[in-house]
Amino acid sequence: MLTPFLFGLQNRRLDFVVTMLLIVLVALSRLLAVPASIWDQDEAYFATGVIDFAPLDNHPHPPWFPLWIALGKLAYLAGAEPAASLQWMSLLFSVWIIFPLTAFWSRLMRRELAVAAALLFAAVPGVWLLAGRAYTGTAATALLAATLACWLGPGDRRSILIGSLTAGGCLLIRAHFAVVVVPLLFVMWRRRSPSKRRLMVAPMLALLVAGYGWVVVAAGGIRPLLAAVQLHSSIHFGARAGFSPSFSQSGLAQALISPVAAALWIILAVLGTLVLLRLPRPDSLAPLFAVVLGPLLVLIHLLSNPHHMRYSMPLLAFSSGLVIVAVARFGKRWVLPIVVGAAALSCWQVLPIFPQYRSQPGPAPAAVAHALSRARASGSVIVADRTLVSFLDLEQAKREFLGTIIRDDQILGGETPPPPDWATIYLFDLGRGELLERARQQQVFSCSEPILRRMAQERFVEVTVAEGARLGISSSR
């Protein structure tokens, strides 16, 4: 996974040159995908946590992602902006993932097919677009692939130790992947000697104790954290009630841009599975389905928002090899054209987006910056749609705002009366703004790119700043 020889060629010099050329191409493509700002509230939570790690204030939200915040703090101390520090970390992992994913798939297929699987994953439009975002998915998927490659290997002590460390790192970046790591640990536990079992568990537990110990200390104890988890879970699972089961809106279809492409991916993955089952040792597939794909499907469709493309990333990573096997079954000569064609199609779909993506801030950060600027100049009160509060928190963490900010649900719940219209700036996302009766002037910050709007699930892509806003509870009913 750290070797500069990706292809395993006998000519080491040629292998090194080809590997480096490939990695440079991947790195250049990822650099194109670094946006000018964050776009989503979760990214705002993460970036605020980089400045001020406060678990009880949703900086960030549960499960607090301690290693991700620590990595962001390192880049922040080196001079990066808080959000940019996480974006660059994600970009680094998006390049490195080629190595552990190749190592993982090489446990099940020939090396050249494993490389093709890793490159096919990297060529997925949604994976490319997410490479430079401040989310945890890319980094956690890379570390999960490294864990699988190490623990499903021959079982030498070095691989087991590295797998233990990457498993701990994975869970400290995205604890959700415990649905994979814990069953995998159970399966491998039965295959290892007592000394190797200790080597699998002890380093991972040490990392987890250190990482989540930091969270406990920052929160002032375990009991407040349990209350925060309970509140976050009620909000999260309450929001799930409104999700549609439509396949065309699924994260897989969003990542592949089209439900037709998503359906083709699934068909090829199933065919690839059937091909592998006919090999002399089909039992080697058991861990892939029992402890990887099965739990990931549960995580995506039962425990998460299945519409967010970022949640489909690990599923794409750990099924890409099955797609390649299906293609190779019809002839090895088709593998390279398919991967190159997928990359070309991805370029055709997403390259036109990058000029706007890289040069213009997302609508929510732009609207929040404008609202704060106007409020500082006029002394107005900001009333914010509660879904935009995380963006305001980030801006306040970067530069203190001495004015007043009120959440709209405080007015709706009767906790505070609406401020006078001459002193009110109302900030709200598309489909919200229930309190607004009229305004002296409104400015809408929006994104016109259909792919980016679908990627964001139409959230935070059209944000309104209403100045001189008259608010009334009756208008929301």
Asked if residue 192 and residue 149 are part of one domain, the reply reads: yes
Residue 40: the pLDDT is 95
Report DSSP letters for 94-148, one per residue: HHHTHHHHHHHHTTTS-HHHHHHHHHHHHHSHHHHHHTTSS-SHHHHHHHHHHHH
- Asked if residue 19 is part of any domain, the answer here is yes
Asked if residue 232 and residue 114 are part of one domain, the reply reads: yes
- Asked if residue 5 is part of any domain, the answer here is no
Residue 477: the pLDDT is 47
Q: Please enumerate, as own/partner, the contacts of 290-295 that have beta carbons within 8 Å and a separation of 24 or more.
A: 290/183, 290/187, 291/180, 291/183, 291/184, 291/186, 291/187, 292/148, 292/180, 292/184, 292/318, 293/318, 293/319, 295/179, 295/180, 295/183
User: Cα separations (Å) of 255 from 70, 122, 252, 383?
Assistant: 28, 11, 5, 34
Residue 108: the pLDDT is 87
- Asked if residue 346 is part of any domain, the answer here is yes
- Asked if residue 318 is part of any domain, the answer here is yes
Asked if residue 338 and residue 366 are part of one domain, the reply reads: no
- Asked if residue 53 is part of any domain, the answer here is yes
Last residue of a domain, one of 330, 357, 384: 357
Asked if residue 201 and residue 184 are part of one domain, the reply reads: yes
* Count of helix runs (H) and strand runs (E) in the chain: 24, 7
Q: Answer whether 319's CB lies under 8 Å from 264's CB.
A: no
Q: Which residue has the tokens 């090899």?
A: 321
Asked if residue 145 and residue 19 are part of one domain, the reply reads: yes
Cα–Cα distance measured from residue 358 to residue 355, given in angstroms and rounded to the nearest whole number = 5
Residuewise pLDDT in 10s, the chain (477 residues):
667 788 888 888 998 999 999 999 999 999 999 999 999 999 999 999 999 999 999 899 999 999 999 999 999 998 889 999 999 999 999 999 999 999 999 988 889 999 999 999 999 999 999 999 999 999 999 999 999 999 988 888 999 999 999 999 999 999 999 999 999 998 888 888 889 999 999 999 999 999 999 999 999 999 999 999 988 888 877 666 656 667 888 889 999 998 999 999 999 999 998 888 887 765 566 677 778 888 898 888 777 888 888 999 999 999 999 999 999 988 778 888 888 999 999 999 999 999 989 999 999 999 999 999 999 999 999 999 999 999 999 999 999 898 999 999 999 988 999 999 999 999 999 989 899 999 999 999 999 899 999 888 889 999 999 999 999 875 544
Report DSSP letters for 144-212, one per residue: HHHHHHHHTSS--HHHHHHHHHHHHHHHHH-GGGHHHHHHHHHHHHTTS-HHHHHHHHHHHHHHHHHHH
Last residue of a domain, one of 310, 339, 357: 357
Asked if residue 227 and residue 251 are part of one domain, the reply reads: yes
- Asked if residue 2 is part of any domain, the answer here is no
Asked if residue 399 and residue 338 are part of one domain, the reply reads: no
Asked if residue 352 and residue 365 are part of one domain, the reply reads: no
Asked if residue 337 and residue 407 are part of one domain, the reply reads: no
Asked if residue 370 and residue 350 are part of one domain, the reply reads: no
- Asked if residue 102 is part of any domain, the answer here is yes
What is the number of structural domains in the chain? 2
Residue 217: the pLDDT is 95
Residue 1: the pLDDT is 64
Last residue of a domain, one of 357, 375, 404: 357
Its domain, for residue 22, covers 12-357
Asked if residue 284 and residue 403 are part of one domain, the reply reads: no
Asked if residue 400 and residue 320 are part of one domain, the reply reads: no
Q: What are phi and psi of 413, to 5 degrees?
A: -85, 0
What do you get for the CA distance between the two ends of the chain, in Å?
Answer: 57
Of the candidates 458, 466, 457, the residue with the CA atom closest to the CA atom of residue 428:
466
Encoded amino acid at 100, one letter? P
- Asked if residue 4 is part of any domain, the answer here is no
